[in-house]
């Protein structure tokens, strides 16, 4: 159960959305500027809304009515940003394990070796992010989020910078994570085909409002 109820205003732009999804993969889609990334930032704890409640299963991350607002670092939310945000001064290997020393709480989701193999990162481990292609950076960012042992994964346009050859693999990876680890995934996309195949629930957002909520083709 994923529950996102938010009221937020920023200048001229306002968001008022109440999204409830019973499946494991929720897709937020809609045109750019609809407020999708703002929603992810609120879920991750990087932005505080005026009012709202964010909960996944039994865990309440935010509930302004009850004065609950867990800091981002304690939410254990793996956030794959639209731009990879890798640490430029650290090697790929150190980027991947950055969150590992804080991830000891709870059982480990995946092992470093598995993530490296799955994402094809072996030949990149010693490199700096400046010497990676866009798709390589994105794969490292996905690996880094997975290795922080998250309770929820957020993905902001995860396949944007990935070439077609890898796209299939990444889609399969997301499915694997969903099925094998039962980790809830919330992702943002403007690609309807992607959304249909992966998502159990699809929320269509326009101008900060939820305009449609429907089931996707992904397993519930």
Partner 1 sequence: MSNGAAWSGALIFSPVEWTAIFLSLKVATVGALSSLPVAVGLAWLLARRRFPGKSLVNALAHLPLVLPPVVTGWLLLIGFGRQGIFGRALEACCGLTLSFRWTGAALAAAVMGFPLMVRAIRLSIEAVDVRLEQAAQTLGAPPWYIFATVTVPLATPGIIAGLILGFAKAIGEFGATITFVANIPGQTQTIATAIYSATQDPDGAATTWRLTGIALAIAFLALFVSEALAARVAKRDAGG
Q: Give the residue carrying structure tokens 């998502």.
A: 199
Q: Which of 1, 10, 31, 102 binds partner 1 (CB under 8 A)?
A: 102
Looking at residues 119 to 138 of the shown chain, list those that interact with partner 1 (rule: CB under 8 A).
Answer: 127-131
Which position among 4, 29, 116, 145 is part of the footprint of partner 1 (CB under 8 A)?
145
Which lies closer to partner 1 via its Cβ, residue 71 or residue 107?
71
By CB under 8 A, tell whether 88 contacts partner 1.
yes
**Tokens found for residue 180:** 């094998």
CA-derived radius of gyration, the chain: 17
- Residues numbered 200-219 forming contacts with partner 1, rule: CB under 8 A: none
Please state whether beta strands 51-56 and 185-189 pair in parallel, antiparallel, or not at all (unpaired): unpaired
Work out how close the CB of 46 gets to partner 1 at its nearest, in angstroms, rounded to a whole number. 5
- In the region spanning residues 60 to 79, those forming contacts with partner 1, defined by CB under 8 A, are 71-79
- In this chain, which of 15, 34, 44, 174 binds partner 1, going by CB under 8 A? 44
Does 48 bind partner 1 (CB under 8 A)? Our answer is: no
- Single out the residue of 73, 70, 36, 37 nearest to residue 53, CA to CA: 70
Site for partner 1 contains 99 (CB under 8 A): yes
> Please, which residue, 150 or 216, has the CB nearer to partner 1?
150
Least CB distance to partner 1 at residue 29 (A): 22
> SS3 for 90?
coil
Q: Is 206 exposed, middle or buried (0-12, 13-18, 19+ CB in 10 A)?
A: middle
Distances (CA, A) of 215 to 25, 52, 117, 159, 218: 10, 24, 32, 21, 8
Interface with partner 1, residue 146, by CB under 8 A: no
């Amino acid at each position: 159960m994923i529950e996102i109820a938010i009221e937020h205003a920023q200048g001229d732009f306002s968001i008022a959305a109440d999204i409830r999804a019973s499946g494991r993969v929720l897709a937020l889609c809609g045109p750019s500027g609809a407020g999708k990334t703002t929603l992810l930032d609120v879920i991750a704890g990087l932005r505080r809304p005026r009012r709202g409640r964010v909960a996944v299963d039994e865990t309440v991350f935010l509930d302004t009515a009850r004065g609950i607002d867990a800091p981002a670092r304690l939410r254990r939310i793996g956030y794959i940003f639209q731009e990879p945000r890798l640490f430029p001064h650290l090697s790929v290997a150190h980027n991947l394990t950055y969150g590992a020393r804080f991830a000891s709480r709870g059982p480990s989701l995946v092992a470093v070796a598995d993530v490296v193999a799955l994402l094809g990162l072996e030949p990149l481990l010693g490199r700096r992010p400046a010497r990676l292609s866009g798709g390589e950076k994105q794969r490292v960012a996905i690996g880094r989020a997975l290795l922080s042992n998250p309770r929820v994964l957020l993905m902001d346009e995860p396949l944007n910078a990935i070439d077609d050859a890898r796209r299939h693999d990444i889609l399969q990876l997301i499915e694997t994570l969903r099925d094998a680890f039962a980790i809830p995934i919330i992702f943002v996309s403007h690609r309807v085909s992607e959304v249909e195949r992966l998502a159990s629930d699809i929320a269509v957002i326009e101008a900060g409002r939820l305009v449609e909520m429907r089931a996707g083709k992904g397993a519930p």
